[in-house]
């Protein structure tokens, strides 16, 4: 018998500049994006009082705080991207790991984080 699961998604965006290291093309030079970010939270129990998996406002607040560290920055000079390539893949992983512990305090987990550079182009990170 299967058990129920719920997934909640919250989307936001931030603006930043980056240059992709070791890339042979235009994107090796500094350029900017209005990045989109979608966080998906997963869990198997609703709260008794509100029957929510997690209040959307809490997810939005945590995501906003995480994205504030990247917004309007040159990512190549901002940790951890001063050491690793500021690719969409690495940004999705970084945001996921920043949200993992605070989200867990609500008894749920981060299922995935997707970062898009422009419509039709995105990278999703999740841990199996």
The whole-number pLDDT of residue 87 equals 98
The whole-number pLDDT of residue 44 equals 96
Q: If pLDDT is split at 50, 70 and 90, which confidence band does 3 have?
A: confident
Rounded mean pLDDT, 4-12: 97
Rounded mean pLDDT, 84-95: 98
Rounded mean pLDDT, 93-120: 97
1 Cβ contact partners less than 8 Å away, ≥ 6 residues apart: none
82-to-14, 27, 68, 75 alpha-carbon distances in Å: 18, 16, 17, 7
pLDDT in tens, 10-68: 999 999 999 999 999 999 999 999 999 999 999 999 999 999 999 999 999 999 999 99
For the chain, give the longest Cα–Cα distance.
Answer: 55
pTM: 0.96
Give all domains of the chain, ordered by start, each with its CATH number. Answer: 6-125 (3.30.479.10)
Percent of the chain with pLDDT over 70: 100
Q: Which of 122, 99, 95, 93 has its CA nearest to residue 42? A: 99
CA 65 – CA 7 distance, rounded (Å): 21
**Residue 60 and residue 10 in contact, taking contact as beta carbons nearer than 8 Å:** yes
Rounded mean pLDDT, 91-103: 98
Angle between helices 56-68 and 88-104 (to 10 degrees): 130
């Amino acid at each position: 018998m299967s058990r129920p699961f719920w997934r909640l998604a919250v989307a936001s965006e931030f603006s930043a500049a980056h240059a992709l290291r070791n890339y042979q093309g235009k994107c090796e030079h500094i350029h900017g994006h209005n990045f989109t970010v979608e966080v998906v939270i997963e869990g198997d129990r609703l709260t008794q009082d509100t029957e929510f998996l997690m209040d959307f406002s809490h997810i939005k607040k945590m995501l906003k705080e995480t994205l504030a560290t990247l917004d309007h920055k040159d990512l190549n000079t901002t940790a951890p991207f001063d050491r690793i390539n500021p690719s969409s893949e690495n940004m999705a992983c970084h945001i996921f790991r920043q949200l993992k512990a605070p989200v867990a305090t609500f008894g749920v987990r981060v299922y995935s984080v997707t970062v898009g550079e422009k419509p039709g182009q995105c990278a999703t990170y999740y841990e199996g």
